Amino acid sequence: MSTERIGVAVLKGLEPISALSSQRLGELAELCVVEPVSKTLDPFRVKGVAGQLVFLLKGELALILGNGSSDVVVGGTPEARHPLGRRTPFAQAKAITDIELLRIDEDLLDIMVTWDQLAAAERTGSRATEAGPPTMANWSILTGLFSINNLKSGVFAQLPSAHINEMLRRFTRVNVKRGQVVVREGEDGDYYYVIEAGKCLVERTVGGVSMRLAELKSGDAFGEEALVANAKRNATVTMLAEGALLRLAKGDFNELLKKPLLQSVNLDQARAKVGAGGQWIDVRYPSEYQYDKLPGAINIPLSEIRNAVKVLDRTREYVLYCQSGRRSSAAAFLLAQRGLKAFVLEGGLRGAGPA
């Protein structure tokens, strides 16, 4: 496959891509690659068009319809501005000349268009009433935070489209100062946070000593563990610099994020996933894991699950468990919102019985 990149000017000539903002077009151009296909070949014999928008950039392509007739598309013409097969579905295709194609993931583009349209509505004044909660009006910052990479994988890519607008409506923006404690260990969980600007320090008290766990930056989220597990905050988060946070109340988080992302499986379903190449993850303390771990399970305690994201295989399914299902629910959500295929064992070991 060619490594030639697509220019923004080319994307502006394609529909419905041309409707994207300049920022989104630039981001999309970085991900797009030209796919060359030699004369006489069917470019869709191995890889079809399902789930994609495919555009003919150069050359001539014959689309063979279901009734045996054919339609010729020529790159650079008005017809080629639109995705192949959308106006007239085809059964096969044949390159009349050497051609160049562009493939774009349909779900990714749909997410990008959704966010851009919401941004446009915000800029033209379609925002919450003055009596309602404060909304996130600074879309120049917001669209930068939710970059194409964040939309392609992670929590926002996995949300049902209908939830995106409602989630944005319920998010509120909070300005924070350096040294301000946002959440404190031991307190009840009330909000889910996304860092719009600034940096945070995450600390936990162990044996009376404060331990530094992580440093979070713009685009990172925190506060979800206590909300998913319905438990107390397990760490203190302090601002290292002045900035701004986007926060979502617990009830809204459960409705719009937790429910769509947290997937549970029973013991039979879990065994089937592991048998098909999945992996058990025990999120309990090592002392618990050693006592009654499931066969083949690896141990990644809940406190370490964020650090494991970088080394886990994104193509593999993971079934997480603990004693009751509380800790594994929090861990599964942490993985799911970062784009991994994570499932929680219903009821944990206590509910599943002998494995």
Active site (catalytic) residues: 322
Number of residues that this document lists for the chain:
355
Query: One-letter amino acid identity for 189?
Result: G
Residues 261 and 209 sit within 8 Å (Cβ to Cβ):
no
Give the contacts of 337 (CB within 8 A, at least 6 positions apart).
154, 155, 158, 221, 224, 257, 261
Q: Which single residue is written with the structure tokens 């923004």?
A: 8
Buried b (16+ CB within 10 A) or exposed e, 42-51: ebbeeeebee
Residues 84 and 73 sit within 8 Å (Cβ to Cβ):
yes
Structure tokens at 166: 């409602």
What does the H/E/C string look like for 147-162?
CHHHHHCCHHHHCCHH
Pairing of β 181-183 and β 236-239 = antiparallel
